């Protein structure tokens, strides 16, 4: 089914979420997954010994725009994304959204609710989604029997922690161009890991949401994408992104590394390269 890419299952409206695609079996008119399928989804290589056809986890579908959980809501279950795209957000005292992540297939939701027993963030479906429910009580009870599970959980939470650390590092140190470049590269890698094309894909989120996620305004995101397009790093058409030079995007550095170049390329080099027939003056500042 997901042959080419870009669109997993065409988003036909209202059709009971079209194809079940991956894991899961019908029962009582619903999809269920066993522990092995859950671990596969998480990319965790835990040797799940059990014949866990007994241990089944229910799926739930959410349609575009629906909230999976909201801030302050009593916590009782974790979610794993089986298909679809979401965003998680914080809401500040003025009602402004701060996007924290864009979960997709294989990601876990709700971990931030464990501590206080209330979700600390809000999760919203950006497309029709299929999520697997992991009732937390059930999960800890299972831990008693299957110790592998405990390590799976530690691994997932630690992974999420590392991801957030990288995010903090990015927000604290990178320029706008570098943030957008990294965002695109990371997205491409995640699509690749899901079996889709990493060279051509559709953004599921608005410029505003990307900006919030990267600590930028939507205008800056838009301008930066246009600039990347002009110098041939990518192609942009609304939400369709084509990656043309992944290497350049990966190595695009920040402007404020410290004291170093930043002055020398401003005037001195400009005239030296008048022989270039191309049109690459747009990002000349970042080299």
CA distance 124 to 6: 21
**Among 107-115, 197-205, 221-229, 264-272, the segment contacting a copy of itself (CB under 8 A):** 107-115
Residue 39 or 234: the one with the smaller Cβ distance to DNA is: 234
Residue 100 or 205: the one with the smaller Cβ distance to DNA is: 205
Strand, helix or coil at 172?
Answer: helix
Contact partner at residue 203 from DNA, a copy of itself, none, CB < 5 to 8 Å by partner kind: DNA
Strands 108-109 and 200-202: unpaired
Residue 15 or 140: the one with the smaller Cβ distance to a copy of itself is: 140
CB 105 within 8 A of CB 82: yes
106: left (phi over 0), alpha (psi -120 to 50) or beta: left
HSE, side-chain direction, 13 A CA sphere, residue 6: 10
Determine, following the binding rule CB under 8 A, whether residue 280 of this chain makes contact with a copy of itself: no
- For 176, 263, 270, 276, 286, the CA distances from 266, given in Å and listed in that order, are 19, 5, 7, 17, 10
Determine, following the binding rule CB under 8 A, whether residue 148 of this chain makes contact with a copy of itself: no
Contact partner at residue 206 from DNA, a copy of itself, none, CB < 5 to 8 Å by partner kind: DNA
Footprint on residues 79-98 left by a copy of itself (CB under 8 A): 90, 92, 94, 96, 98
CB 134 within 8 A of CB 57: yes
- Tell me the closest approach of the beta carbon of residue 210 to DNA, in angstroms: 8
Edge-to-edge strand ranges of the sheet holding 234-237: 200-202, 240-243, 234-237
Determine, following the binding rule CB under 8 A, whether residue 193 of this chain makes contact with a copy of itself: no
Contact partner at residue 219 from DNA, a copy of itself, none, CB < 5 to 8 Å by partner kind: DNA
Determine, following the binding rule CB under 8 A, whether residue 112 of this chain makes contact with a copy of itself: yes
* Interaction site with DNA (CB under 7 A): 175-177, 203, 206-208, 211, 215-220, 222-223, 225-226, 236-239, 255-259, 262-263, 266, 285
CA distance 120 to 113: 6
Strand, helix or coil at 23?
Answer: coil
Contacts to a copy of itself by CB under 8 A: 90, 92, 94, 96, 98, 100, 111-116, 120-121, 140, 143-144, 147, 150-151, 153-155, 157-162, 164-169, 171-173, 212-215, 257-258
């Amino acid at each position: 089914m997901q042959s080419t890419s870009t669109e997993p299952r065409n988003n036909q409206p209202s059709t009971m979420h079209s194809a079940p695609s991956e894991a899961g079996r019908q029962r009582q008119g619903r999809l269920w997954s066993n522990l092995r399928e859950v671990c596969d989804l998480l990319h965790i290589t835990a040797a799940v010994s059990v014949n866990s056809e007994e241990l089944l986890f229910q799926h739930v579908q959410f349609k575009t725009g629906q909230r999976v959980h909201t801030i302050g809501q009593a916590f009782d279950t974790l979610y794993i994304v089986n298909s679809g795209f979401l965003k998680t957000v914080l809401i500040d005292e003025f009602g402004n959204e701060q996007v924290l992540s864009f979960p997709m297939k294989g990601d876990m939701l709700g971990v931030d609710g464990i501590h206080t027993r209330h979700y600390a963030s809000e999760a919203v479906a950006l497309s029709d989604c299929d999520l697997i429910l992991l009732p937390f009580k059930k999960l800890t009870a299972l831990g008693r029997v299957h110790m592998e599970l405990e390590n799976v959980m530690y691994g997932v939470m630690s992974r999420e922690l590392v991801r957030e650390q990288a995010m903090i590092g990015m927000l604290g140190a990178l320029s706008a161009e570098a943030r957008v470049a990294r965002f695109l590269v990371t997205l491409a890698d995640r699509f690749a890991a899901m079996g889709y094309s990493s060279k051509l894909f559709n953004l599921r989120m608005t410029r505003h949401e990307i900006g919030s996620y990267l600590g930028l305004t939507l205008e800056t995101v838009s301008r930066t994408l246009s600039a990347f397009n002009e110098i041939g790093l990518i192609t942009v058409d609304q939400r369709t992104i084509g990656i043309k030079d992944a290497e350049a995007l990966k190595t695009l550095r920040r402007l404020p590394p410290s004291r170093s170049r930043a002055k020398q390329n401003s005037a001195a080099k400009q005239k030296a390269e008048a022989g270039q027939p191309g049109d690459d003056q747009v990002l000349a500042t970042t080299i």
